[in-house]
Chains A and B, each alone.
Chain A
Amino acid sequence: MMDLTPTPSQTVGPYLHLGLTDLRSIPRLAGDDAQGERVWLTFRVLDGEGAPVPDAMIELWQADSEGNYANQDSTDGESFRGFGRLATAENGSCTFETIRPGCVAGPGGTVQAPHVNVSILGRGILKRLSTRLYFAGDRANDADQILALVPENRRPTLLARQDAARTSNWVFDVRLRGECETVFFDV
């Protein structure tokens, strides 16, 4: 009888690009035909000393503009994939093109505020870090049951900031450790 304990995770290491991003990046989560408000999400990964992390990888998974996930009952079909993956550049950043997700069904008949599910992988990260990006100023945030699990003083770490000059651009800092550390979830 095979042991059915899940296989342990290991770091993706410094050469992740070879297998995962050199030829396999997915910078666009939504094709030209996808319905919804087009947005650009810039992630900036910083370490415990505030230095940019140049060898991390971000993966995103999100619903379409109606709150449906692509392999469930999304009406957008092939034009909406909802999955993205990029390595960070030397400045610790990467930018995805997508559409702003809709509200997703939540526990007990509630709805979840628009959010993007985020994985952070990298050298020195022994297992996937998991967080969520919410959009600052979205009225649905106030009723989101997952945000409500987060101590109020740490909630801002989950809010992407809108670029004042280019309002379709949103910026999300991932602070791995220390001051203003991003909230990570046990999923």
Chain B
Amino acid sequence: MSYSFIQGKRDNPKKSVVPFRRHEPGTQPDYLYPAYRATRLRAPSQPLIFLPHTLSEVTGPVFGHSDIHPNDRDLTLQHTGEPLGERIIVRGRVVDGDGHAVSNTLIEIWQANAAGRYAHAKDDHPAPLDPNFTGTGRTLTDDDGFYSFVTIKPGAYPWRNHDNAWRPAHIHFSLFGPAFVTRLITQMYFPGDPLFAYDPILKSIPDERARQRLVSQLDMETTKPEWALGYRFDIVLRGREETPFEMQGR
């Protein structure tokens, strides 16, 4: 499988670089969150060095429709039979920090099956694999920034972070956006999951309001009668600073 690339807009990059806005304190996780044990050996100990945005940060890869197959956005159609579990529709809109649609951007997802097991060689949770479910999908947002997936509601599963540790049900999301610095990888959760209070990965985000932004909402508009419940999950990528700073040509 290979990606083909389409050529994006030519906005005279050598003349001006419009930087992207920085995150508000507390709205993103820190690198070191000791309750999430794996961060203890993988989080940097030195402070990060502030990098003013250059052409290298404000450009990024562009993916096209040729990268997507029709069944990529319906995870229930990828095998000969139907997967087991609760069929759901996940739909949402991707916008930037100014509320503008982020159109034609690649979204990739992956998840456990209804029993809480990933179709991955290293997942040894003793729950059944589903021969009709791989749990991987992708799509491009439309011109208004909307996307949707049809899938199966993933199950919760145990992990070895601490005694009796269980991850709340979640779907992994990967997005590119327009620049190298808008790259986002996150997880979507389901409303009202009682495991939130015990999950150090979700709790690594200091700001409670920011944390809630990862929780999808039951959406009766997306729900299809007699067929599948719908969940709404909107995503906000970083927006640009208002004032461009001028760069001279080379």
* Residues of A bordering B, CB below 8 Å: 2-20, 22-24, 26, 47-49, 51, 53, 55, 59, 61, 63, 67, 69-73, 77-78, 81-83, 103-109, 111-112, 115, 117, 119, 121-130, 132, 146, 149-150, 154, 176-178, 181-187
Q: Which residues 196-250 of B sit at the A interface, judged by CB distance below 8 A?
A: 201-202, 204-205, 209-211, 213-214, 234-239, 245, 247-250
Which of A8, A18, A81, A108 is within 8 Å of B136, CB to CB? A18
Contact (Cβ within 8 A) A124 B50:
no
Do A177 and B118 form a contact, CB below 8 Å, given A4-B239, A18-B134, A24-B108? no
| A2 CB, min distance to chain B CBs, angstroms | 7
| B151 CB, min distance to chain A CBs, angstroms | 12
Q: A10-B185, A126-B36 are in contact. List 5 more A-B contacts (CB 8 A).
A: A6-B184, A8-B27, A72-B8, A127-B31, A187-B53
Chain B binding site: helix, strand, loop or mixed by DSSP? loop
| Interface footprint category on B | 35 or more
One digit per residue, 1 when the CB lies within 8 angstroms of any chain A CB and 0 when it does not, for chain B 155-185 equals: 0000000000000000010100000110111
Taking CB atoms, residues of chain A closer than 8 Å to B80 are none
| B65 CB, min distance to chain A CBs, angstroms | 15
Taking CB atoms, residues of chain A closer than 8 Å to B234 are 2
Distance between Cα atoms of A27 and B237 in the complex (Å): 26
Contact (Cβ within 8 A) B95 A18:
no
* Residues of B bordering A, CB below 8 Å: 1-5, 7-10, 13-14, 17, 22-24, 27-31, 33, 36-46, 48-57, 59-62, 95, 97-99, 108-110, 118-120, 122-123, 134-136, 172, 174, 180-181, 183-187, 201-202, 204-205, 209-211, 213-214, 234-239, 245, 247-250
Taking CB atoms, residues of chain A closer than 8 Å to B53 are 187
Which of B46, B95, B98, B109 is within 8 Å of A181, CB to CB? B46
8 contacts between A and B (CB under 8 A): A4-B98, A5-B209, A7-B237, A23-B136, A48-B41, A70-B61, A146-B51, A177-B42
Which of A47, A72, A182 is within 8 Å of B13, CB to CB? A72
Taking CB atoms, residues of chain B closer than 8 Å to A14 are 120, 122-123
